[in-house]
Amino acid sequence: MSRAWIALGGNLGDRAALLAGAVERLRARGIAPLRLSHAYETAPESAAAEPPYLNAVCEAETALPPRELLRALQEIEAALGRPAPHVPGPRTVDLDLLSYDDLVLEEPGLILPHPRLHRRGFVLVPLCELNVHWRHPHVGLEGGELLAALALAPGEVRLHGPLPVGVEASSGASRR
């Protein structure tokens, strides 16, 4: 089994319920959620007028190879009403494959670890909640070091609370 880190986000509809539904659909696809961060609310990255996002990170185990895992994530997005991947703008659910074991990979349509992971507070805060010592396999720094380098503004990533799913929600940063 491989360990995957998956970012979840969305800013349309019942955001918490949609993210929880995405986690449940992971299970149905043979992707076993191990732990789930709390949800965090953030402003959209774009300057366009969009509602705020809810974001979380899921640590999961899977036997699916990276390309198949990515395809499963995209199919879950589509089933939950997301337009085609890479279409900018508001979305019901966005699932990003952040990392897969310690794999460093660059192929058309799949880059691991996620190329913007280390520059996104809305990803690093929930990731560090689960494992502050997670090490970026390409950059070589731990999650806590990457997060500290961002110097987020107060309130930029706000705790929203747990998502309504049957996965252990973290109570703080893990030392795993």
- Known catalytic residues are 82, 91, 94, 96
* Dist. CA 101–CA 93, nearest whole Å: 24
Angle of the 66-79 helix axis to the 15-28 helix axis, nearest 10: 140
CB of 101 within 8 A of CB of 3? yes
CB of 37 within 8 A of CB of 147? no
* Dist. CA 9–CA 22, nearest whole Å: 10
